[in-house]
Amino acid sequence: MVNNSVRNEMLKIGYARVSTPTQNWDRQIGALRAERCDKIFREKASGKDIKNRPQLEKAIDELGKGDVLVLRNGIARPDPCWMASTSSSASTPAAPC
């Protein structure tokens, strides 16, 4: 774990994940670099298995007081809860959130 008492600046720690070995995380890494993450952790792990994420654990362990964890997770999929809550159309059906 980083000792935040000896540094004054906030760190941005990035984490990218894809589900399969054939998926590419270039867009996620590009987005984390655009966010100016100081360190980026990445792994290929199924979205179903939330317990075995050693790189996510390392990213969390790297965090100190005031640091930020920036997540980029898998393939971008529309979130029906977000779409329903931000839609301006009254005809948009409510999502089961």
Range of the domain at 77: 4-86
Strand duo 39-44 + 12-18: pairing: parallel
30 within a domain of the structure (yes/no): yes
Among 3-7, 16-20, 42-46, 60-64, the minimum mean pLDDT is found in 3-7
Let me know if residue 93 belongs to a domain: no
Q: Return the closest-CA partner of residue 45 out of 30, 59, 32, 63.
A: 59
Q: Are strands 39-44 and 68-73 parallel, antiparallel or unpaired?
A: unpaired
Please check whether residue 94 lies inside any domain of the structure: no
Report the CATH number at residue 77: 3.40.50.1390
Res 76 pLDDT > 90: no
Residue-level pLDDT at 6: 54
* Residue numbers annotated as active site: 19
